Amino acid sequence: MLGFVFLAWGRTLPTTHWTGSLFVFGMLTVQFTWGATLGVILGPSRRLRRWYWASLVFAVVPLEFTRMVTWLSFHFVGLQIAILCALVCLSVIVIETVAGVMVGNNIHSRLLAA
């Protein structure tokens, strides 16, 4: 997808306007999709809930972005804004992961009911 966008509009648009948003939303989409996939595979079964930690396997990529944003905001804006950025980024990662798992559980339950 990124390759298509670059080949189609890469020479006409400055890259600073759209590549950052594609990167951020792409990471969140991957986190949500991985959580949903895990939710579909495991389902709402209580005996398999111990495997839900696997939804955090891909959390390393958004956490690296969070570290970078926090470090940059600390150096250029200050400690309070850096802490606020870290809290917002971490809460979005957690919300995306939990939402993905919940949607996956819902899909799993509906597939079994059909």
Tell me whether residue 80 is exposed, middle or buried, using C-beta atoms within 10 angstroms of its C-beta: 0 to 12, 13 to 18, 19 or more.
exposed
pTM above 0.75, yes or no: no
* pLDDT (mean) for 6-27: 64
Question: Would you say residue 77 has pLDDT above 60?
Answer: yes
Taking the domains of the chain in order of start, what are their residue ranges? 2-9+18-113
Query: Which of 9-23, 69-83, 88-102 shows the lowest per-residue confidence on average (mean pLDDT)?
Result: 9-23
* pLDDT (mean) for 62-88: 87
* pLDDT (mean) for 38-44: 81
* Residue-level pLDDT at 85: 86
CA dist., res. 105 & res. 31, Å (int)? 15
* pLDDT (mean) for 54-68: 78
Residue tagged 């919940």 (tokens):
102
Chain-wide mean pLDDT for the chain? Answer: 78
Tell how far CA 97 is from the center of its chain. Answer: 7
